[in-house]
Amino acid sequence: MRIGTHRLPNNLLLAPMAGVSDLPFRRLCRRLGAGLAVSEMVAANAALRTTPKTLRRLDLADEPSPRSVQILGADPRAMAEAARRNLDLGADIIDINMGCPAKKVCHVAAGSALLRDEAKVAAILEAVVQAVPAPVTLKIRTGWDLHSRNGVRIAQIAEQSGIQALTVHGRTRACGFSGEAEYATIAEIKQRVTIPVIANGDIDGPEKARQVLAQTGADGLMIGRAARGRPWIFREIGGFLMGQPPTAPSLAERLAVLKEHLHGLYDFYGERQGPRVARKHIAWYCKGFPGGAEFRSRINALDTAAEQLAAVEQFFSLWVNREEPAT
C-alpha cells in the first residue's frame, strides 16, 4: 500500500486515539505488525503549541518512518501552519482529523463537525495540501448524523483537493461509538474515488478484518480500540490475511509485551506520571482474565513503576505456567 511516495510494509494502520496512541504505543504496534501508526491529534491552535501535552504528542523520537501526525482545527491558515510545523519536526505524512466526535472538539467546529460545512472542508484540505510537500491524508466519519450522511461527497472533495488517502470510520458523529459500524458507505466511497480508502470501525480480529475488506473493497484497515491491550492484533490479522491460521500469543509473550510497553511508558512519561498513564493499559492487557477486575483496582492504588511491575509479574505468574487463555 502506498501513501504518496511512501510504501507501507502492509495495509494495517493504528488509529490516532487520544490518550492511547502515544509514542511508546505507536512504536510497539509498529514492531508487532502495524504498517503505519498515526499520532494522537495535535491541535492547530498556536496557543497550545508549548503545552506539555502537545510537546509530548510532537515527540517522534526513534519512531520508524513514515511518521504520520494528525492535526486538528477549523481554520485553514492555522491548519496549514500546523502542517508545516509538524513537517519541520519530523513528520512524513500529515493527517487531518475530521472524524473526532468529542463534544469539546465539535463545539469549536472542528473534528466531525466540519462535515456539516463542505465549503470549509475544501478550504482546509486545499490549504494544507498546498502548504506542505508531504502527502496529506484525511480521516472522516460517514456524516454528521443519519439524515446527513455525506461521506461520499466529502471523499470526492478530498480527492479533488489533493488528499492522498482517506480513512472512513463507519459511523456518523451522532453515533459516537455506539451500535455497530456500517460498511456500505465505505464501499460506496471506494467505488467513487481513486485514492486509497482505509476502512475503520469495529475491526476486532482476523475474521472481521477479512470480512470488512471483502465487504468494502477497501485498500487498508485502521484498527483502534481493539488494539488496546492487544498490540499483537496487527500481526495476527496480517498473518491471517496472508493465509496463516490465526494464533494468539502465549501468556508468557503477552507478559513480555506488557512489560516492554510499561518500560516504554515509564521512560517516556517519567517516574511520576508514567505509572499513572500505565494503569489503563494494564487494565486492557488483563481484560478477560479471572480476577482481572480485582487486579485492576489494586493497580490503581499503586504509584510507582517498581510496584506496578511486581504486581504485574505476580498476577501473570498465576496463569503463565497453566497457559489458560483469557476469555
The domain that holds 266 is classified in CATH as: 1.10.1200
Give residue 326's pLDDT. 47
Mean pLDDT of all residues belonging to the chain: 93
Establish if 293 belongs to a structural domain.
yes
User: Residue 261: inside a domain, yes or no?
Assistant: yes
Q: Are 237 and 255 members of one domain?
A: no
Whether 155 is covered by a domain: the verdict is yes
Residues 259 and 133 in one domain: no
| Domain identity same for 152 and 278 | no
What is the pTM assigned to this prediction? 0.94
Q: How confident is the model at residue 327 (pLDDT cuts 50, 70, 90)?
A: very low
Residues 227 and 255 both lie in one domain: no
Last residue of a domain, one of 222, 241, 260: 241
184 and 220 together in one domain:
yes
Model pLDDT for residues 110-137, shown as the tens digit of each residue: 889 999 999 999 999 999 999 999 999 9
327 within domain boundaries = no
Q: Flag whether pLDDT at 311 surpasses 70.
A: yes
Q: What is the pLDDT of residues 261-291, one digit of tens each?
A: 999 999 999 999 999 999 999 999 998 888 8
Residues 229 and 257 in one domain: no
What separation in angstroms does the CA of 189 have from each of 38, 48, 97, 122, 217? 22, 35, 18, 17, 10
Same-domain pairing of 196 and 308: no
Average pLDDT over residues 202-209: 97
Residue recorded with cell 497457559 = 323
Of 218, 241, 264, the one marking the end of a domain is: 241
**Is 246 inside a domain boundary?**
no
- What's the domain count of the chain? 2
For residue 185, the domain's CATH number is: 3.20.20.70
What is the pLDDT at residue 230?
A: 98
| pLDDT of amino acid 321 | 65
Q: Has residue 323 got a pLDDT over 60?
A: no
Asked if 265 and 188 sit in the same domain, the reply is: no
Residue 178 belongs to a domain? yes
Give pLDDT, residue 110: 82
Closest CA to 261 of 250, 273, 242, 275: 275
- Check whether residue 134 and residue 272 sit in a common domain: no
Predicted pLDDT at 54: 77
Indicate the range of 54-58, 93-97, 128-132 predicted with least confidence.
54-58
Residue 293: what pLDDT? 85
Positive or negative torsion for Cα 171, 204, 29, 18: positive
Q: Is residue 256 part of a domain?
A: yes
Average pLDDT, integer, range 55-66:
85
Q: Which domain holds residue 106?
A: 2-241
| Same-domain pairing of 255 and 173 | no
Q: What is the mean pLDDT of residues 6-35?
A: 97
Would you say 40 and 3 are in contact if contact means Cβ atoms under 8 Å apart? no
Q: Quick one: 73 and 112 in the same domain?
A: yes
The residue-averaged pLDDT of 53-65 equals: 83
**Active site residues per annotation:** 100
Most confidently predicted of 42-46, 62-66, 81-85, 145-149? 81-85
Looking at the fold, whether 107 and 63 belong to one and the same domain comes out as yes
Domain boundary among 241, 273, 290: 241
pLDDT of res. 105: 83
Residue found under cell 462535515? 115
Task: Provide the pLDDT for residue 322.
Answer: 64
In a domain, 326, yes or no: no
Range 185-210 average pLDDT: 98
Q: Residue 242, CB half-sphere, CA atoms under 13 Å: how many?
A: 11
The yes-or-no verdict on residue 61 having pLDDT over 90 is no
Q: Provide mean pLDDT across the span 30-42.
A: 96
Strand partners, 165: 137
Q: Quote the pLDDT of residue 247.
A: 84
